[in-house]
Amino acid sequence: MSKQARRGSSWPSTELLQRATFVDDAGPVRFVDTEAAARYLALDAHTLECYRSLDSGPAFYKFGRYVRYAVTDLDAWAESCRRSTSASPHAPRVLPVDAT
């Protein structure tokens, strides 16, 4: 038998609901779970989990056992991955052999 059934009341209690303050609009979403973060970044959730375990992905928060990502951190990490060219700016320039 559950605690709720033993107490004979439902949760949340009427008293708790009367004290509660309901918010119609909590504003923009600040945190998302791994699935939503992966969709936001166009990645697989498993890829994001691997980045997290390697400490190479976006910053994340732990709320108890729950992993959450701040949308601003996802944007910052995505911006850090931006490349204008695939060539390294520090790579030596390679000239053809027949160049004079």
3-state SS, one letter per residue, for the chain: CCHHHHHCCCCCCHHHHHHCCCCCCCCCCCEECHHHHHHHHCCCHHHHHHHHHCCCCCCCEEECCEEEEEHHHHHHHHHHCCCCCCCCCCCCCCCCCCCC
Quick one: pLDDT at residue 24? Answer: 73
Tens of pLDDT, residue by residue over 20-72, are 777 677 777 789 999 999 999 999 999 999 999 999 999 999 999 999 999 99
**Orientation of helix 34-41 relative to helix 71-80, angle to 10°:** 40
Amino acid at position 31, single letter: F
Q: Give pLDDT, residue 60.
A: 97
Amino acid 15: pLDDT? 80
pLDDT of residue 20: 76
The answer to whether residue 100 scores a pLDDT higher than 80 is no
Q: Between residues 53 and 17, which one has the greater pLDDT?
A: 53
pLDDT of amino acid 55: 92
> What are the φ/ψ torsions at residue 90 (nearest 5 degrees)?
-100, 0
- For 76-94, what is each residue's pLDDT tens digit? 999 999 887 766 666 666 6
